[in-house]
Structure 1
Amino acid sequence: MQIENPADIASRLAAEHRQRIPFSPLPWATAGNMDLAYAAQDVLVGIFAEAEGATIAGWKVGLTAKKMQSFCGVDSPIAGAILSSRVHCGPIELQLADFGRLGLEVELAVRLGRPLPSDADLTRQSVEASLDRICAAFEIVDDRDADYATLDACSIIADNSWNAGIVLGESRPLEGMPDLQNLGASLSMNGEAVGHAITSDAGGDPLEVVVWLERLLRSRGRRLEVGDWVMTGSIIATQFARRAQEYCFTIEELAPVVVRTSGQN
């Protein structure tokens, strides 16, 4: 039986999280109804927020790379909410047993320092003028051991785009930063290099990602609020931790951020 009510979809997903049930595509998702997916996400985030005594503290943007969009059958990124209870400052240790399957994505994070302008004036330049802080960050994702051969974007969106939190490095003012598209980035695990990239490898200009996100939020009756953090997309391939590891992510001009994992998954 298809589930087409946002509240029912969210209730099912919340139960799956509580019972540690692996992720599986939702029955209706092949229809590509992104409005329904985001409506279900709103309800699910509300369920999580109430349970954790939390508020929305920012947003993640995923599938910024064209390759991943094609893989999931969409032509745009996707978004998910970040709860205040899930915002951490590095270094931090994460218990693998707390997740269905813990993934770490390395990203450039920016913070909104003043309200964004009206739709007519919403541009890359106005976004840059409205941001105040920037840092290297990890996004914590929990794909609940998903089968990537059967992924679809709507199912991921409904499940809050798999966001399970963020880990922020020490931030600095955005003012004075060089071109955000061409900053060198590197990730190491236990002191050994995992990958090198530049920030535009996440899918282009990070500030255009913020423009896209704000337009999406406004189409849903929401918007970025002052103090919100935005995760602008994964720069290096996702790392899935299965045992105790130490990950260190650095971006040129920014302080490094460290996540340690412990236990087994």
Structure 2
Amino acid sequence: MTTDRTDAIAREIIRQHEAGEPFRNLEGDLAPRDMAEAYAAQFRLQEIHAETGRGALGGRKIALASKVQQALCGVDHPLAGGIFASEIHDSPATLDLAAYHGLGLEFELAVKLGADITPDDGPLDAAAARGRVASIHPAFEMIIDRGADYSALNGLTMAADNAWCAGIVLGPAIEGWRELDVDELSGALFWNDEPPATARVGDADPFGSLAWVASVLTGAGRALKAGEVIITGSVIRTRAPQAGDHVRYRIGETAEVELRIA
């Protein structure tokens, strides 16, 4: 529910972005008092963006799903955020580095919902969440950290700041995924000509992560809709790209998402 405080928090975060200010933890009267208030501020931020041209949401994200990402950020629990539909790009994609303030890339399994998840459903476990999925895809998430000091991050401010989401690049669907042990699939990151970095997809517990995002949103009285894209957490540490980089992320043997940085 929007209050004067959550509206003020959302507008201050938007102001900081528009002014090109570095990320900083909110303090004083604008510091979220708990996670419920942080998410209420995030929802208000999304509403303001929808009203001012960024558009409606087309999906959701989980941040800090894996232990490697929690260790990087010094936050010991996941965070949920929204993905604006205007910022969902098909692979292969080219992004202009200058359009982002502190761009980082994350390497994820995305799911596309085939059925709604509503507050009436109650809590879902990983198996029930998997049953709502129509397709799964490799994906990049673009995050905006605004030059954050990773040694002093506050999860409440990050949550209010839409968990830093700046969009995704979505790869092709993984064929025959229902017959696969998705957790045991390998993700391989190819960065220019470097040797590939690999990780187990299950390190981010993708269907458990989907269930967790659903619980946050339905607990706040909101629904996830069929067709929405949910990204389920990076299993490889966030990396900052440079102009000229060519990056690919493959899940399994064939499904690959591709990005060039201009």
Does the alignment reach a TM-score above 0.5?
A: yes
For 1:47 and 1:173, how far apart are their aligned partners in 2? 38
The answer (yes or no) to whether the contact 1:249–1:257 under 8 Å persists in 2 is yes
Structure 1 outlier segments of 4+, above 3 Å: 28-32, 66-75, 116-121, 172-177
Would you say how many aligned residue pairs link Structure 1 and Structure 2?
Answer: 257
**Structure 2: 5+ residue runs without aligned partners?**
none
Deviation at residue 66 of structure 1 after TM alignment? 3.6
- Residue aligning to 2:53: 52
For 2:173 and 2:134, how far apart are their aligned partners in 1? 10
- Residue aligning to 2:40: 39
- Residue aligning to 1:77: 78
- Residue aligning to 1:246: 246
For 2:141 and 2:160, how far apart are their aligned partners in 1? 18
For 2:192 and 2:225, how far apart are their aligned partners in 1? 37
For 1:32 and 1:130, how far apart are their aligned partners in 2? 33
The answer (yes or no) to whether the contact 2:10–2:41 under 8 Å persists in 1 is yes
For 2:48 and 2:152, how far apart are their aligned partners in 1? 26
Question: What TM-score results when the alignment is normalised by the length of structure 1?
Answer: 0.89
- Residue aligning to 1:176: 178
- Residue aligning to 2:97: 96
1:25-62 Cα deviation digits (max 9, x unpaired): 11058776111111111111112222335211110101
Cα gap change, 1:30/1:195 in structure 2, threshold over 3 Å: closer, same or farther?
farther
- Residue aligning to 1:124: 126
Out of 128, 136, 142, the residue aligned to residue 138 of structure 2 is 136
Cα gap change, 1:175/1:183 in structure 2, threshold over 3 Å: closer, same or farther?
closer
For 1:53 and 1:120, how far apart are their aligned partners in 2? 31
Deviation at residue 190 of structure 1 after TM alignment? 1.2
Q: Which amino acid aligns with 2:84?
A: L
- Residue aligning to 2:232: 232
- Residue aligning to 2:153: 151
- Residue aligning to 1:261: 261
Moved more, 222-231 or 61-70: 61-70
Q: 5 Å matches for 1:13-32?
A: 13-28=13-28
The answer (yes or no) to whether the contact 1:185–1:249 under 8 Å persists in 2 is yes
- Residue aligning to 1:192: 194
Q: Which amino acid aligns with 1:166?
A: I
The answer (yes or no) to whether the contact 1:30–1:152 under 8 Å persists in 2 is no
Q: Which amino acid aligns with 1:181?
A: D
- Residue aligning to 1:110: 111
Deviation at residue 124 of structure 1 after TM alignment? 2.3
Q: Which amino acid aligns with 1:259?
A: L
Is 1:10 the counterpart of 2:7? The answer is no
The answer (yes or no) to whether the contact 2:102–2:146 under 8 Å persists in 1 is yes
RMSD (CA atoms): 2.2
Deviation at residue 64 of structure 1 after TM alignment? 1.2
Query: Whose strand fraction is larger, Structure 1's or Structure 2's?
Result: 1
Is 1:220 the counterpart of 2:217? The answer is no
**Structure 1: 5+ residue runs without aligned partners?**
none
Deviation at residue 243 of structure 1 after TM alignment? 2.6
For 2:17 and 2:176, how far apart are their aligned partners in 1? 37
For 1:194 and 1:150, how far apart are their aligned partners in 2? 30
